[in-house]
Amino acid sequence: MCDTIVALGPSTRGGVTLFGKNSDREPDEVQNIIIVPRKQYRTGETVKCTYISIPQAAETARVLLSQPFWMFGAEMGANEYGVMIGNEAVFTREKPASSGLTGMDLLRLALERGRTAREAMDAIIRLLEEHGQGGNCGYRQKFLYMNSWLIADEREAYVLESVKSWWAWKKITDHWSTSNVLSLEKDFDAVSPGLIENAVRKGWCKSAADFNLRKCYSDPIITWGAAGKARQICSRDNLALKKGDLTTADFMAILRHHGGREDFLPHKHGGTVCMHAADKLIRRSQTVASLVGNIGSKGHYYYVTGASNPCLSPFYPVFAPGTISPAGYLEGGAEYSPEVYWWESEKIHRKALHHFPAARKAAQHKIQEYEQEMIQAIEEKRIPLNQAAIDNYFSRAGKIVTDLGAQLESLPKIKHNWLYRSYWQGYHKLNGTA
């Protein structure tokens, strides 16, 4: 489950494009923040994606990827030209294929091959039609689905939604969000041949004039279980609330949203933009990484948590021109390692679950103070955004998390039921944090 948001110039302060996404996946599924340099290839070379190989492009762009550790593709990312993409799982009456390009593969390939949002969208469409989509997208639990993508650059944005190799897209004029539901109805700008005809043939609508993408193709049961509608309403309400004056900080706040509940408790309250896992059936996903981008004529700025639960995790800057990953940042895998930022943050976050809402309140003040200073310094160009600055902010973000960990035992503790405790104890045994 995921939430992706975008706002273009008419909706933002300073006329920039703002982009954000929470990637919601299985709790132990490490999501690494990686930078892949620009590269050229020989004619005839192929690229091995998660399940299939396809012809490689002559040149691929430098890209920032927020990547589940076991796959080729990515949940969200950006490229050197200021294109940003986030994908969403969508659940349709048509069943996914057992193999093909995953939605995450298509996202990475589009970032590598597109210099504008339109070029990136066209790349997804072309690859979708040539190779199809499919394959298991779950980590420990099998999970197949169709995909939608929100694609933006500093001038324009598109929402692209797919069923098998069919697609429909809409150009965004102000702001938009997607949340594991087909967001297009009759309002698409273009649609692939076959999509409407298939719906009519199967009796999901009477005619082309009657066609509604969401109503015709949504799987009602799985879509309901994903709770995407409520999250989409929440994100869109928050975008509309500050339309014309939206900022980077606002996008970070939306990704931390708990449905407006000051008394939010992870074991009780689900279906929120900042998602917390609680069981293996309905609430089996949590936010494992978050990304926000500010793309404008004066600069492109990217911020990541590099960790789960943005309500407890500070953002730090990445992917400035000429920079690499922050000093001390290591990619993680299946097993817990105290040297890996994602894993060490996750260990603290899981302890914090026993101290909500006090833990969230304790973290919020320090995070807000740090991020306000960081955003102003970077976006108002008070400091050069070089490797030293990136290293410094990453170090400060880590200290906020470790300070929270040291403070937890002094905070009020809540008692969870046996099922919730057992759920998390099972993960501790699997990953070695027990």
Tokens of 91: 């659940």
Q: For the segment 183-201, what is each residue's pLDDT rounded down to a tens digit?
A: 999 999 999 999 999 999 9
Asked if 257 and 234 count as a contact pair (C-beta separation under 8 A), the reply is: yes
Query: What is the helix (H) or strand (E) element at residue 177, kind and residue range?
Result: strand 175-178
pLDDT, residue 434, reads 63
Residue 2 is among the residues annotated as catalytic for this protein:
yes
Give the rounded percent of residues in the chain with a pLDDT score beyond 90.
88
On average, the pLDDT of the chain sits at: 95
How much is the average pLDDT of 14-37? 97
pLDDT at 279: 87
Say whether 163 sits in a helix, a strand or coil. strand
Q: What's the rounded Cα separation, in Å, for the pair 45 and 4?
A: 33
Picking from 20-24, 130-134, 217-221, 226-230, which range would have the lowest pLDDT averaged per residue? 226-230
Q: What is the pLDDT of residues 125-139, one digit of tens each?
A: 999 999 999 999 999
The per-residue pLDDT for 302 is 98
Tokens standing for 135?
Answer: 């394959």
32 phi/psi in degrees, rounded to 5: -90, 145
Residue 432 has pLDDT above 80, yes or no: no
Burial of 337 (0-12, 13-18, 19+ CB in 10 A): middle
Residue 68 carries which DSSP code? E
Amino acid at 199: A
Residue 294: which H helix or E strand, with range? strand 286-296
Helix (H) or strand (E) holding 381: none
The 8-class DSSP code of residue 276 comes to -
Return the amino acid letter for 66: S
Instruction: In whole angstroms, give the CA distance from residue 243 to residue 247.
Output: 10
What is the reported pLDDT for 202? 96
Residue 31's pLDDT is what?
A: 98
Give phi and psi for 422, each to the nearest 5. -65, -35
* pLDDT (average), residues 305-321: 97
* Residue 222 scores a pLDDT above 90: no
Burial group, residue 322, by CB count within 10 angstroms (0-12, 13-18, 19+): exposed
Q: When comparing pLDDT for 247 and 226, which is higher?
A: 247
How much is the average pLDDT of 322-327?
97
Using a pLDDT cut of 70, give the percent of the chain over it.
100
The tokens describing 17, both together, are 């494009």
Q: CA 171, CA 174: separation in Å to the nearest integer?
A: 10
The answer to whether the Cα torsion of 249, 255, 260, 264 is positive or negative is negative
What would the pLDDT profile of 275-299 be if each residue is shown by its tens digit? 999 888 788 899 999 999 999 999 9
Rg (CA), the chain: 21
pLDDT tens-digit series, residues 61-88: 999 999 999 999 999 999 999 999 999 9
Half-sphere exposure at residue 427, Cβ-oriented, CA atoms within 13 angstroms? 23
Give just the sign of the alpha carbon dihedral 6, 10, 11, 16. positive
Secondary structure letter of residue 223 according to DSSP: H
Confidence of residue 431 (pLDDT cuts 50, 70, 90): confident
Task: Measure the CA–CA gap between 193 and 167, rounded to whole angstroms.
Answer: 9
**Element (H or E) spanning 90, and its range?**
strand 84-90
**pLDDT at residue 364 tops 80:** yes
Residue 158 has pLDDT above 90, yes or no: yes
Task: Provide the CA 301 distance to its chain's centre, in angstroms.
Answer: 16
* Secondary structure of residue 136 in the 3-state scheme: coil
Q: Which domains does the chain have, with CATH numbers?
A: 2-326 (3.60.60.10)
